[in-house]
Amino acid sequence: MKKIAFISQDNPNDKRAWSGTAHTIFMTLKKDFDVYWHGKIELSKSEKASLFFNKYVNKIGKGRLANERNLEISKVYSSKMDEFIASQDFDYIFVCAVPFMGAFIKNTTIPMIYLNDATFENMIDFYAPFMGLSKKGIKEGHEIERALLKRASKVVYSSQWAVDSAVNYYNADKNKVSFIDFGANLPLEDYTENIPSEYVNNKCRLLFSGVDWKRKGGETALAITRELTKRGINTELVIIGCNPSIRDKNVTIIPFLNKNIKKDLELFTKYFKNSTFFVLPTVADCTPIVFSESGAYSLPVITTKVGGTESVILEGKNGYTFDLNATPSEYADTIEKLWNDKEKLISLRKASLNEYHSRLNWGIWRKKFNELLNYESSNH
């Protein structure tokens, strides 16, 4: 079995690493490879002092830097990865969404696979940590991205949006850049058709899940709920993952669920199974894993045309996407039409499940990843 050096900032054995995605990818790779994580990185006092100076002192009065998108930091961490890579006879290096840790790895003999859901160019002024960056921060962020894209043998993104940025902005070799859908961070893969009883009970349940109420478009989801109610549709909004200050008899709030805890997973499953639509009018997202999870429960998605969402949600197949400036009334028009045509709504649910089985699960990701490496799985 071939060996992979797995490079990530968080411990991939932790189910919360990269919101569960790093852990899931780590465990998926383990089905076909011997996979080793580098462990916690220990820095010397001089390295810590140098990094503190570069990360904090240098940015005073000059705007912000973007997380670890800093050349000095990147070179220090890349050197630590060189030490790790030299410790064993690895066949592949897998850089999981941490460009700063892999960009300046000096070992060029081992093929490197780089995986992420966006490029640095995608993220500038898109996500909060990348807002208001200094000229130095932007310049060095681009330099790190270019170095990694040049060094990598294969680059895997979770959307065409990210692929286009790598190829068109960074001039990455299009023959080594691929798009493979992410799967669902759920414990099972064998999901079957699910038509909720609420259709019979005449309740239209909209499900919203996300920690960041504002960025995920929570206010719009609430406005859609109220618009549908105004139109005479018995509508409920279920909010999971955050706790906005809302007093509304048609709103149910579940502040936090941990899918690693059995009773929380059961509650999570219950609401996904018994909802009519998953509604996420997000203003900034790459490729939300929750879209794949929705498909597992036959739940169509209503979202925005932003980031990589249109790579996951195919119009009329597993949901609908709207322009960022769409009004709650426009969303409500689509939902109302589907609600009043149960046959079409049920057909959409079946198609949503089919999209999950055909592309939005980690089994398919695993198959496509191995094909990318021309690697024959040991236990297909």
CA distance 357 to 354: 5
CB atoms within 10 A of CB 167: 18
Report if residue 189 sits inside a domain.
no
Query: How many structural domains comprise the chain?
Result: 2
Residues 149 and 283 in one domain: no
Residues 268 and 137 in one domain: no
Mean residue pLDDT of the chain comes to 92
Residues 62 and 10 in one domain: yes
Band of residue 380 on the pLDDT scale cut at 50, 70, 90: very low
Pick from 161, 158, 139, 142: nearest CA to 150: 142
Band of residue 19 on the pLDDT scale cut at 50, 70, 90: confident
Report if residue 166 sits inside a domain.
yes
Structure tokens at 136: 């130095």
What are 55-86's pLDDT values in tens digits?
A: 655 554 455 555 567 888 899 999 999 999 99
Report if residue 36 sits inside a domain.
yes
Residues 203 and 253 in one domain: yes
Residues 25 and 104 in one domain: yes
Report if residue 335 sits inside a domain.
yes
- 184-189 average pLDDT score: 80
Containing structural domain, residue 68: 3-183+361-372
Residues 174 and 278 in one domain: no
Residues 314 and 275 in one domain: yes
Pick from 194, 196, 191: nearest CA to 357: 191
3-class SS letters over 17-68: HHHHHHHHHHHHHCCCCEEEECCCCCCCHHHHHHHHHHHCHHHCCCCECCCC
What are 272-308's pLDDT values in tens digits?
A: 999 999 999 999 999 999 999 999 999 999 999 999 9
Residues 134 and 55 in one domain: yes
pLDDT of 60 reads 46
Give the CATH number of the domain where residue 67 resides: 3.40.50.2000
> Quick one: how far is CA 252 from the chain centroid?
25
Residues 138 and 204 in one domain: no
Residues 52 and 169 in one domain: yes
Residues 17 and 61 in one domain: yes
